[in-house]
Amino acid sequence: MIYFLINLQDASKHVFHIVSDRLNYTTMRMWFLVNSPGKATIQVQYMFS
């Protein structure tokens, strides 16, 4: 993910939607809180059955 953000010309114009299962949802959210995506927007959601 970070590789894509480094190569963007204007990261503030990009939004990444990440869909996770319930088990990994909290881990994914915390990872992006600690590892800031810069000006890009990251949205983490989970799918449930």
Summarize the confidence of residues 7-36 as an average pLDDT.
85
Residue 15's pLDDT band, with cuts at 50, 70 and 90, is confident
Q: What Å distances lie between residue 20 and 26, 41, 49, CA to CA?
A: 9, 16, 12
Instruction: State the average pLDDT for the chain.
Output: 82
d(CA 3, CA 41): 15
CA angle 32, 25, 46 (to 5 degrees): 115
Local confidence band at 1 (pLDDT 50, 70, 90 cut-offs): low
Residue 21 makes CB contacts below 8 A (sequence gap 6+) with 46, 47
- Put simply, whether the predicted model's pTM sits higher than 0.85 gets the answer no
